[in-house]
Every structure is written in C-alpha cells, then in structure tokens.
C-alpha cells in the first residue's frame, strides 16, 4: 500500500452491506479505507470503525460528513437508500469522486435525478454487483431473444425479511434483459404483482414475484415457461461478500481511480 493506493469511502458503513464493504476494502491490496460514513447522530460517529464493528482498530474514524470524507478519496461506494444516494450523487459530483451505486429501489423520477451529477463524476450503478448475476443477465437476454412470445417469462426473487424494496433491483435488471432480448420495453409489459381475479396471463408480458423471509441473501430465477417444457435460469447468493468485492472492483475500474491493477 502506497500514497497512490486509491482511497475508498464507504457510505452507510453500519449497514449489512456497509460492513461487508469496509471488510472488502481492508482485505484488498489495491485499495485503502479513506472514510466510513454513517447517518448524522449515529452512535458510531467518532469511533474507530473497526472497534464499532466489534473488531480491531482500523485507524479510520466513522463520520457523518460525506463531503469531507470524499475530499480525501477517489471513490465512494454507496449501498444505502434512494434518498441518501441522490444526496451523495450531488456531493460526489462536487468532489469529482467515482460514485459506485449499489442502492436499489429507485423510481423513474429518482433515476432521472441522478443524471445531472453523472455529468461531473463517474457513476457506476448496478442492481447486483456479483459476477454470477451479471453473467445471468447476458444469458437471460440471449434466451429471451431465441424464444418467441409463446414462452412466458417470469422472474421470481427471494430475499431476507429486512429488504425494503420489491421487486429487487436484480429482478428488474433481469426483466430489462429479457425485454431487450425480445425487443420490447419492460415498462409496457411488466406484471408486478398479481392478486385476486387477474384473468388469464397476457401473452408477451414479463411477470415478477417476490418472496421475503428469514436471512435469505438473494435468489433469482428467470423462468421461461413453454408448452410441455420449461427453462429455468437461477442465481443463488449465499454470501454478501460477492456484492462487496464486485463493488470494489467497479470503484477501482472507474476512471480517476484505476491507477492500480484490479
């Protein structure tokens, strides 16, 4: 580790993903932890982040001042909430820091509001940062392109009981890939939740279902249901570290922070 090792700030450091990200950066030879930001008034503020996580000191004090933290860093990795991410986008643009966005649950208007900041800083956003899901996205597009509308496409996802948004960001990514493969616009064909007398399924639609329970890390099936046969593409995450490593890779890849080998 040298003076030129890219500095990374973790937003929402006390969250499920925040803790993983702190660990991933500290385990990497190619990045250093430049800051760990928590919500204003959080009891971690002023504590060494390693101690706050119940481990040895990491030499980084948790703060509630994202702009000050970013001034000392090349990139900020942000797995928080849509509202917090919109604020961070604005600050990352001021600091010219690469903004890696893992947050999901944005509505269309919120996604639009991310655009101005992306003119001043690099934004890397994905509903899922794992290698496996990004491969699955390509496979989904390929299979959807090969099959006609007679094959019904359903995306089924399962997550832990604390998850705030549905369908998951990954499910929507997979739905977009399927729609792209079919040459249609997802918003025009998405069935997001069925209840009651729904009538027969509309041919060409892409359906979404969400399961919430226990400590499920994240599971996604893309089902292509035909007559007399069915294809299922599946990804199962069993360790959140896959998302953290993917996000760190994105932070080091983003222009301005790619001085070192990934």
Ligand X SMILES: NC(=O)C1=CN([C@@H]2O[C@H](COP(=O)(O)OP(=O)(O)OC[C@H]3O[C@@H](n4cnc5c(N)ncnc54)[C@H](OP(=O)(O)O)[C@@H]3O)[C@@H](O)[C@H]2O)C=CC1
Give the one entry of ligand LZUJQKHR, ligand X, none that residue 159 binds, where binding means its C-beta sits below a cut-off of 5 to 8 angstroms depending on kind.
Answer: ligand LZUJQKHR
102 binds ligand X (CB under 6 A): yes
Residue of 99, 159, 220, 235 marked catalytic: 159
Residue 120 annotated in active site: no
140 binds ligand X (CB under 6 A): no
Q: Which is nearer to ligand LZUJQKHR, 85 or 168 (CB)?
A: 168
CA distance 180 to 48: 46
Give the one entry of ligand X, ligand LZUJQKHR, none that residue 123 binds, where binding means its C-beta sits below a cut-off of 5 to 8 angstroms depending on kind.
Answer: none
16 binds ligand X (CB under 6 A): yes
Residue of 163, 220, 235, 249 marked catalytic: 163
17 binds ligand X (CB under 6 A): yes
> 73 and 32 in contact (C-beta within 8 Å)?
no
* Cα separations in angstroms, 162 against 8, 96, 247: 27, 33, 21
Among residues 8, 9, 10, 18, which is the contact residue for ligand X, using CB under 6 A?
18
Q: Which is nearer to ligand LZUJQKHR, 160 or 230 (CB)?
A: 160
Query: Which residues are part of a known binding site for NAD(+)?
Result: 12-17, 102-104, 126-129
What torsion do the CA atoms of 247, 253, 258, 262 make, to the nearest 10 degrees? 70
126 binds ligand X (CB under 6 A): yes
What are the structure tokens assigned to 107, written together?
């509505």
DSSP 3-state assignment of 45?
A: coil
Q: Which is nearer to ligand LZUJQKHR, 20 or 88 (CB)?
A: 20
CA distance 48 to 55: 10
> 172 and 106 in contact (C-beta within 8 Å)?
no
Residue 51 annotated in active site: no
Among residues 61, 71, 84, 139, which is the contact residue for ligand X, using CB under 6 A?
84
127 binds ligand X (CB under 6 A): yes
Q: At what angle do helices 131-146 and 241-253 cross, to 10 degrees?
A: 90
Angle at 56 between CA 217 and CA 67, to 5 degrees: 70
Q: At what angle do helices 82-95 and 108-118 cross, to 10 degrees?
A: 10
Q: Which residues of the shown chain bind ligand X in the complex (CB under 6 A)?
A: 11-12, 14-18, 37-39, 42, 79-81, 84, 102-105, 126-129, 169, 243
| Residues catalogued as catalytic | 159, 163
């Amino acid at each position: 580790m040298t003076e030129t090792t890219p500095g990374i700030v973790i937003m929402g450091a006390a969250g499920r993903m925040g803790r993983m990200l702190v660990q991933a950066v500290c385990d990497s030879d190619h990045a250093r932890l430049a800051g760990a930001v928590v919500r204003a008034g959080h009891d971690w503020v002023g504590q060494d982040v390693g101690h706050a996580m119940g481990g040895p000191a990491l030499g980084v004090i948790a703060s509630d001042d994202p702009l000050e933290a970013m001034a000392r860093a090349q990139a900020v990795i942000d797995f928080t909430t849509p509202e917090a991410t919109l604020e961070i986008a604005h600050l990352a643009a001021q600091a010219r820091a690469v903004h890696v966005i893992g947050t999901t649950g944005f509505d269309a208007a919120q996604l639009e509001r991310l655009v101005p900041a992306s003119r001043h800083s690099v934004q890397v956003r994905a509903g899922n940062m794992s290698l496996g899901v990004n491969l699955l996205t390509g496979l989904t597009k390929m299979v959807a392109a090969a099959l006609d509308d007679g094959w019904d496409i359903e995306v089924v996802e399962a997550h832990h009981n604390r998850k705030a948004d549905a369908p998951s960001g990954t499910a929507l990514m997979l739905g977009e890939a399927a729609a792209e493969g079919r040459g249609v616009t997802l918003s025009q064909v998405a069935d997001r939740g069925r209840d009651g007398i729904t009538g027969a399924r509309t041919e060409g639609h892409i359906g979404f279902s969400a399961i919430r329970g226990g400590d499920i890390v994240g599971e996604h099936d893309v089902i292509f249901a035909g007559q007399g046969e069915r294809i299922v593409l599946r990804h199962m995450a069993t360790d959140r570290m896959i998302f953290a490593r993917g996000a760190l890779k994105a932070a080091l890849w983003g222009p301005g922070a790619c001085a070192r080998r990934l």
